[in-house]
Amino acid sequence: MIDVVVSGVLFDMDGTLVDSTAVVEAAWTRFGATHGIDPVEILAFSHGRQTIDTVQRFLPDLPEDEQRDIVDTMIAAEIGYVEGIVEVPGAGAFVRRLQDLGVPIALVTSAPRELAVKRMIAAGVPVPDALVPSEDAERSKPHPEGYLRGAALLGAPAERCLAFEDAPAGVEAALASGATTVVVGDLEASATTGLPRIAGYTGLTVEREGSAFRIRG
Protein backbone atom coordinates (compact mmCIF):
# COMPACT_ATOMS: atom_id res chain seq x y z
CA MET A 1 0.00 0.00 0.00
CA ILE A 2 1.37 3.40 -1.02
CA ASP A 3 0.09 6.63 0.51
CA VAL A 4 2.80 9.27 0.60
CA VAL A 5 3.16 13.02 0.08
CA VAL A 6 6.33 13.93 -1.80
CA SER A 7 8.05 16.77 -3.63
CA GLY A 8 9.44 14.66 -6.47
CA VAL A 9 9.64 11.21 -8.01
CA LEU A 10 12.78 9.24 -8.94
CA PHE A 11 12.64 6.33 -11.38
CA ASP A 12 15.06 3.60 -12.26
CA MET A 13 14.62 2.50 -15.90
CA ASP A 14 15.28 -1.15 -16.81
CA GLY A 15 12.71 -3.36 -15.10
CA THR A 16 11.07 -0.33 -13.48
CA LEU A 17 9.67 1.71 -16.38
CA VAL A 18 10.95 -0.33 -19.30
CA ASP A 19 10.91 -4.12 -19.73
CA SER A 20 14.15 -4.84 -21.56
CA THR A 21 14.70 -8.26 -20.00
CA ALA A 22 15.13 -10.18 -23.25
CA VAL A 23 17.73 -7.72 -24.61
CA VAL A 24 19.73 -7.56 -21.39
CA GLU A 25 19.73 -11.32 -20.84
CA ALA A 26 20.83 -11.92 -24.42
CA ALA A 27 23.72 -9.47 -24.05
CA TRP A 28 25.04 -11.04 -20.87
CA THR A 29 24.50 -14.57 -22.22
CA ARG A 30 26.73 -13.68 -25.20
CA PHE A 31 29.29 -12.21 -22.81
CA GLY A 32 29.23 -15.38 -20.70
CA ALA A 33 29.59 -17.66 -23.71
CA THR A 34 32.55 -15.64 -25.00
CA HIS A 35 34.40 -15.74 -21.69
CA GLY A 36 33.30 -19.12 -20.35
CA ILE A 37 31.19 -17.74 -17.49
CA ASP A 38 27.80 -19.02 -16.37
CA PRO A 39 25.26 -16.40 -17.51
CA VAL A 40 23.03 -17.18 -14.53
CA GLU A 41 25.81 -16.02 -12.21
CA ILE A 42 26.39 -12.93 -14.32
CA LEU A 43 22.72 -11.94 -14.38
CA ALA A 44 22.40 -12.43 -10.62
CA PHE A 45 25.08 -9.77 -10.14
CA SER A 46 24.53 -7.42 -13.07
CA HIS A 47 20.92 -6.35 -12.59
CA GLY A 48 20.74 -2.66 -11.74
CA ARG A 49 24.50 -2.10 -12.02
CA GLN A 50 26.60 -0.29 -14.60
CA THR A 51 28.03 -2.55 -17.32
CA ILE A 52 31.62 -1.74 -16.36
CA ASP A 53 31.01 -2.98 -12.81
CA THR A 54 29.91 -6.38 -14.10
CA VAL A 55 32.78 -6.69 -16.57
CA GLN A 56 35.27 -5.81 -13.81
CA ARG A 57 33.61 -8.29 -11.44
CA PHE A 58 33.95 -11.25 -13.82
CA LEU A 59 37.11 -10.26 -15.71
CA PRO A 60 39.13 -8.61 -12.93
CA ASP A 61 42.53 -9.47 -14.42
CA LEU A 62 41.82 -7.96 -17.81
CA PRO A 63 43.58 -4.62 -18.47
CA GLU A 64 41.31 -1.63 -17.94
CA ASP A 65 41.41 -0.55 -21.59
CA GLU A 66 40.26 -4.02 -22.66
CA GLN A 67 37.48 -3.95 -20.08
CA ARG A 68 36.34 -0.60 -21.49
CA ASP A 69 36.45 -1.96 -25.04
CA ILE A 70 34.13 -4.80 -24.03
CA VAL A 71 31.73 -2.35 -22.40
CA ASP A 72 31.72 -0.05 -25.42
CA THR A 73 31.04 -2.97 -27.77
CA MET A 74 28.18 -4.29 -25.63
CA ILE A 75 26.54 -0.88 -25.27
CA ALA A 76 26.84 -0.13 -28.98
CA ALA A 77 25.09 -3.41 -29.77
CA GLU A 78 22.30 -2.71 -27.27
CA ILE A 79 21.72 0.83 -28.56
CA GLY A 80 20.97 -0.60 -31.98
CA TYR A 81 18.60 -3.27 -30.68
CA VAL A 82 15.21 -2.17 -29.33
CA GLU A 83 12.98 -4.95 -30.66
CA GLY A 84 10.84 -6.44 -27.88
CA ILE A 85 11.36 -3.53 -25.48
CA VAL A 86 8.02 -2.55 -23.92
CA GLU A 87 6.80 -0.48 -21.01
CA VAL A 88 6.17 -1.91 -17.57
CA PRO A 89 2.34 -1.95 -17.41
CA GLY A 90 0.95 1.56 -17.01
CA ALA A 91 4.38 3.24 -16.87
CA GLY A 92 3.86 5.63 -19.78
CA ALA A 93 0.46 6.82 -18.61
CA PHE A 94 1.69 7.27 -15.04
CA VAL A 95 4.70 9.34 -16.09
CA ARG A 96 2.48 11.50 -18.31
CA ARG A 97 0.08 12.00 -15.41
CA LEU A 98 2.95 13.16 -13.20
CA GLN A 99 4.13 15.53 -15.91
CA ASP A 100 0.63 16.94 -16.44
CA LEU A 101 0.40 17.77 -12.73
CA GLY A 102 3.86 19.33 -12.69
CA VAL A 103 5.45 16.68 -10.47
CA PRO A 104 9.28 16.97 -10.66
CA ILE A 105 10.61 13.69 -12.12
CA ALA A 106 14.13 12.31 -12.60
CA LEU A 107 15.34 9.16 -14.29
CA VAL A 108 18.25 7.53 -12.41
CA THR A 109 19.69 4.69 -14.47
CA SER A 110 22.81 2.58 -14.70
CA ALA A 111 22.53 2.78 -18.50
CA PRO A 112 24.37 5.45 -20.51
CA ARG A 113 22.29 8.41 -21.72
CA GLU A 114 21.92 7.38 -25.36
CA LEU A 115 20.85 3.85 -24.47
CA ALA A 116 18.40 5.09 -21.83
CA VAL A 117 16.73 7.53 -24.22
CA LYS A 118 16.48 4.89 -26.98
CA ARG A 119 14.84 2.37 -24.64
CA MET A 120 12.40 4.87 -23.17
CA ILE A 121 11.32 6.00 -26.64
CA ALA A 122 11.02 2.39 -27.84
CA ALA A 123 8.76 1.58 -24.87
CA GLY A 124 6.63 4.70 -25.34
CA VAL A 125 7.52 6.17 -21.95
CA PRO A 126 8.22 9.94 -21.81
CA VAL A 127 11.85 10.82 -21.07
CA PRO A 128 12.05 13.20 -18.07
CA ASP A 129 14.07 16.38 -18.48
CA ALA A 130 16.09 15.41 -15.40
CA LEU A 131 18.23 12.38 -16.22
CA VAL A 132 21.14 10.82 -14.31
CA PRO A 133 22.75 8.23 -16.62
CA SER A 134 25.81 6.13 -15.88
CA GLU A 135 28.25 8.73 -17.19
CA ASP A 136 26.95 11.29 -14.68
CA ALA A 137 27.48 9.12 -11.59
CA GLU A 138 31.02 8.22 -10.59
CA ARG A 139 29.77 5.53 -8.21
CA SER A 140 27.29 2.94 -9.41
CA LYS A 141 24.30 1.59 -7.51
CA PRO A 142 24.15 0.40 -4.72
CA HIS A 143 25.90 3.67 -3.89
CA PRO A 144 23.24 6.40 -3.50
CA GLU A 145 25.09 9.00 -5.62
CA GLY A 146 22.73 8.66 -8.59
CA TYR A 147 19.61 9.16 -6.49
CA LEU A 148 21.13 12.05 -4.60
CA ARG A 149 22.04 13.69 -7.92
CA GLY A 150 18.54 13.07 -9.23
CA ALA A 151 16.93 14.68 -6.20
CA ALA A 152 19.31 17.64 -6.49
CA LEU A 153 18.25 18.14 -10.12
CA LEU A 154 14.66 18.33 -8.88
CA GLY A 155 15.56 20.85 -6.20
CA ALA A 156 14.25 18.56 -3.47
CA PRO A 157 15.94 16.58 -0.71
CA ALA A 158 15.93 12.84 -1.41
CA GLU A 159 13.98 12.35 1.81
CA ARG A 160 11.09 14.20 0.13
CA CYS A 161 11.17 11.98 -2.96
CA LEU A 162 9.53 8.70 -3.90
CA ALA A 163 11.80 6.22 -5.70
CA PHE A 164 10.71 3.26 -7.84
CA GLU A 165 13.19 0.39 -8.20
CA ASP A 166 13.28 -3.28 -9.20
CA ALA A 167 16.84 -4.50 -8.54
CA PRO A 168 18.70 -5.26 -5.29
CA ALA A 169 21.48 -2.75 -6.00
CA GLY A 170 18.93 -0.11 -6.95
CA VAL A 171 16.74 -0.63 -3.91
CA GLU A 172 19.79 -0.35 -1.67
CA ALA A 173 20.84 2.85 -3.45
CA ALA A 174 17.41 4.44 -3.18
CA LEU A 175 17.08 3.57 0.50
CA ALA A 176 20.58 4.85 1.24
CA SER A 177 19.69 8.18 -0.36
CA GLY A 178 16.81 8.56 2.08
CA ALA A 179 14.06 8.32 -0.52
CA THR A 180 10.81 6.49 0.23
CA THR A 181 11.21 3.41 -1.95
CA VAL A 182 8.70 1.27 -3.82
CA VAL A 183 9.63 -2.13 -5.28
CA VAL A 184 8.44 -2.75 -8.83
CA GLY A 185 7.89 -6.41 -9.70
CA ASP A 186 8.61 -9.58 -7.78
CA LEU A 187 12.10 -8.93 -6.39
CA GLU A 188 12.67 -10.64 -3.06
CA ALA A 189 15.78 -9.51 -1.21
CA SER A 190 16.74 -8.48 2.30
CA ALA A 191 16.54 -4.81 1.31
CA THR A 192 12.92 -5.15 0.19
CA THR A 193 11.54 -6.34 3.52
CA GLY A 194 8.59 -4.19 4.55
CA LEU A 195 8.70 -1.99 1.45
CA PRO A 196 5.56 -1.24 -0.58
CA ARG A 197 5.38 -3.15 -3.86
CA ILE A 198 3.60 -2.79 -7.20
CA ALA A 199 3.37 -5.01 -10.27
CA GLY A 200 2.64 -2.01 -12.50
CA TYR A 201 1.42 1.57 -12.37
CA THR A 202 -2.21 1.25 -13.42
CA GLY A 203 -3.57 1.38 -9.87
CA LEU A 204 -1.66 4.48 -8.76
CA THR A 205 -3.29 7.89 -8.33
CA VAL A 206 -1.66 11.32 -8.05
CA GLU A 207 -3.11 14.50 -6.55
CA ARG A 208 -1.60 17.90 -5.92
CA GLU A 209 -1.57 19.02 -2.27
CA GLY A 210 -0.31 22.59 -2.19
CA SER A 211 3.30 22.53 -3.35
CA ALA A 212 3.55 18.74 -2.84
CA PHE A 213 1.89 15.67 -4.34
CA ARG A 214 0.08 12.71 -2.81
CA ILE A 215 0.63 9.34 -4.51
CA ARG A 216 -1.59 6.43 -3.58
CA GLY A 217 -1.97 2.90 -4.77
61 catalytic per annotation? no
At 63, is the secondary structure helix, strand, or coil?
coil
Q: Give the integer Cα–Cα distance in Å for 146 and 176.
A: 11
Q: Active site residue: 12, 19, 53, 166, which one?
A: 12
Cα-Cα-Cα-Cα dihedral sign, residues 161, 165, 170, 176: positive
b (16+ CB within 10 A) / e for 9-47: bbbbbbbbbbbbeebbeebbeebbeeeeeebeebbeebb
69 catalytic per annotation? no
The amino acid sitting at 75 is I
Are the C-beta atoms of 9 and 104 separated by less than 8 Å? yes
Are the C-beta atoms of 39 and 28 separated by less than 8 Å? yes
- In angstroms and rounded to an integer, the radius of gyration of the C-alpha atoms of the chain is 17
Q: Give the integer Cα–Cα distance in Å for 93 and 62.
A: 44
Give the residue numbers annotated as catalytic, written as ranges: 12, 14
